[in-house]
Structure 1
Amino acid sequence: MPVASGPSRSVPHRGRLAGVITMTGSGLSNQVGAAIGSLAFPVLGPVGVVAVRQYVAAIVLLTVGRPRLRDFTWAQWRPVLGLAVVFGTMNLSLYTAIDRIGLGLAVTLEFLGPLTIALAAARRRVDAFCAVIAAAGVVTLMRPQPSTDYVGMGLGLLAACCWASYILLNRSVGRRIPGVQGSATAAAISALTFLPVGIVLALHQPPTAAAIGYAVAAGVLSSAVPYLADLFTLRHVPAQAFALFMSINPLLAALVGWIGLNQNLGWTEWASIGAIVAANTLSILARRA
């Protein structure tokens, strides 16, 4: 009995360990990709970087999803078109916010989208408490100061709204279209809308090889790697554990911005990020219990 039970326990354990390692790599890849993409802002601007990122995401998702467009019905096309709009708007607002207020604060504000979805679906006292903690963190981040960039803050909140919409639309697409055909189609449509933008930018100001390399790296590290890593992770790690780990993305973004981009944050910003991360962590742990 002990000999027979050993392998059956070790295999899931190794799978979970691999999933945790993959989640860590995915989170770091996402934030490092955003940081590298910001290096191309002086040449391409946020719009140009997002355009290249959309092209990379479309190529990866189309390769994996291989959608059969002729089989789509209008009921399937509607959420796909909505998802395409959200794809572009979410990335554009996030990268513009990163350009104005830094990586850590932009990702923290964007994270309010999935956090709001999670708290709105709950009816427990602990979730109300978590909502208060998260709200306190947001108020602290957006407190009036002479140097406060309200446009950048607003773009971060727009990215949060887009991420919440992305979750809801992706759920609808997943129910109506098998596999990742819907997401692949939405990514392709979003990339097509950014194609004129890329052409205009290239004609107006020919990009440097370094800027193109930064933007492509952002697309690979922030789109292709996280997507493929998530596919692997969700096979070995429970959805709640996956959601719990996602809550540290604002912290990872702040660390990457601090170390890689020299974007220093004050103790109040760190406290606000910690409050928002703690609110999501507490909510998920309570739900799991």
Structure 2
Amino acid sequence: MNRSDSPLAGRPGRGFAVISASALSTQSGAAIGSLAFATFTPVGVVAARQVVASIVLCAIARPRFWRFNPGQWRAVGLLAFFFAGMNTALYSAVDRIGLGTAVTIEFLGPLAVALLSSRRARDLLCALLALTGVVLLTRPGPTSDLLGLGLAAAAALCWAGYILTNRLVGQRVPGVQGTAVATLLSSAAMVPIAIIVLWEVTLPPEAFLYAAAAGVLATAVPYALDLIVLRHITPLMFGLGMSLNPLFAAVVGAVFLRESIDLLGWTGVVLVVLSNALTLAGGARRPRSPEIDLQADGAAVR
């Protein structure tokens, strides 16, 4: 199908709807995966996600890893570390402080990368908005789950590292081969931990279904949607859709997981989403190709 023949071509509204559906699928998958935390543990659910991600990406990219040179392997290995760390820290945070709060804090990672790479005065306002939003949402104090907040901050740090490393991998390895191999390495590192969990605990059948659903909804579906829609929308549109993730996470957490966020907390979520949107609105540019833009943003594969 030619780009001009696509139902998304020339219809930014449809493109935005698809990328929003991708974000909603990601957060729905995380919510379903959290239902298995009590028995499968967050690490076990992450392992299932990583396996699904590696299967999907390797099937698409068909990486020729045997041709990688030492420099390529070093970059891919670092990417695998950030990939596994990002998801493990996020899911562990979700288990302690809830989906909406954890995802909102995690989005400080890509926001920080965007702000630090810019010299615009208005980005200072975006940074202040984001920090104000996080303070309103978390309101840290003596009774706060500091470990949970720290894990969410670690997820944000890993996501920032993932984005920067993904750019390096994109320069050294053609297409998405490097990302595919990184997911394979990260899943190989996580699987032994999942085996130990399975050995120590007798899991109910639904735990496997929840973990598998998390892998499909939070990895396979978003990746497929993002890869398709990036061919027909601008990076601005893609970024604005991705910035809705904290809002979707808060809504999904409130509706399906019965997580409680008060009015100040919702205000904080909206401020973080707004800061992301303002940052992206001022730095939009056309992608050279969907693969390059996908790797540069590091958003589709999480």
Shared fold (TM-score, shorter chain, > 0.5): yes
Deviation at 1:286, TM superposition (A): 3.2
1:12 paired with 2:9, answer yes
- 1:186 aligned residue (172, 179, 182): 182
Letter in 2 for 1:257: G
1:244 paired with 2:240, answer yes
Letter in 2 for 1:12: A
Q: Distance in 2 between matches of 1:8 and 1:143?
A: 50
Q: Distance in 2 between matches of 1:206 and 1:194?
A: 19
SS at match of 2:147: helix
Q: Determine if contact 1:19/1:232 at 8 Å carries over to the other structure.
A: no
Q: Distance in 2 between matches of 1:168 and 1:205?
A: 38
Q: Which moved more, 1:219-228 or 1:144-153?
A: 144-153
Deviation at 1:141, TM superposition (A): 3.1
Matches within 5 A, 1:96-135: 96-135=92-131
Q: Distance in 1 between matches of 2:84 and 2:123?
A: 31
Q: Which moved more, 1:105-114 or 1:169-178?
A: 169-178
Q: Distance in 2 between matches of 1:142 and 1:35?
A: 20
Where does residue 85 of structure 2 map in the other structure?
A: 89
1:59 paired with 2:55, answer yes
Letter in 2 for 1:206: T
1:228 paired with 2:234, answer no
Deviation at 1:8, TM superposition (A): 8.9
Deviation at 1:132, TM superposition (A): 1.3
Percent of residue pairs bearing the same amino acid type: 48
- 1:136 aligned residue (132, 137, 148): 132
Matches within 5 A, 1:272-283: 272-283=268-279
Where does residue 21 of structure 2 map in the other structure?
A: 25
Q: Which moved more, 1:276-285 or 1:138-147?
A: 138-147
TM-score by length of 1: 0.93
1:166 paired with 2:162, answer yes
Deviation at 1:181, TM superposition (A): 0.8
Letter in 2 for 1:224: A
Q: Determine if contact 1:126/1:286 at 8 Å carries over to the other structure.
A: no
TM-score by length of 2: 0.89
Deviation at 1:129, TM superposition (A): 1.1
CA distance change for structure 1 residues 11 and 120 in 2, over 3 Å: closer, same or farther? closer
Q: Determine if contact 1:102/1:263 at 8 Å carries over to the other structure.
A: yes
Q: Flag structure 1 segments of 5+ consecutive residues without an equivalent.
A: 1-6
Q: Distance in 2 between matches of 1:284 and 1:176?
A: 26
Q: Which consecutive aligned stretches of 4+ in structure 1 deviate over 4 angstroms post-superposition?
A: 7-11
Q: Determine if contact 1:58/1:191 at 8 Å carries over to the other structure.
A: yes
1:175 paired with 2:144, answer no
CA distance change for structure 1 residues 58 and 282 in 2, over 3 Å: closer, same or farther? same
Q: Flag structure 2 segments of 5+ consecutive residues without an equivalent.
A: 286-302
CA distance change for structure 1 residues 195 and 283 in 2, over 3 Å: closer, same or farther? closer
Q: Distance in 1 between matches of 2:277 and 2:196?
A: 44
Q: Distance in 2 between matches of 1:127 and 1:229?
A: 30
Structure showing greater Rg: 1
Where does residue 208 of structure 1 map in the other structure?
A: 204
Q: How many residues align?
A: 282
Where does residue 217 of structure 1 map in the other structure?
A: 213
SS at match of 2:282: helix
Aligned-residue RMSD, C-alpha: 1.8
Letter in 1 for 2:264: T
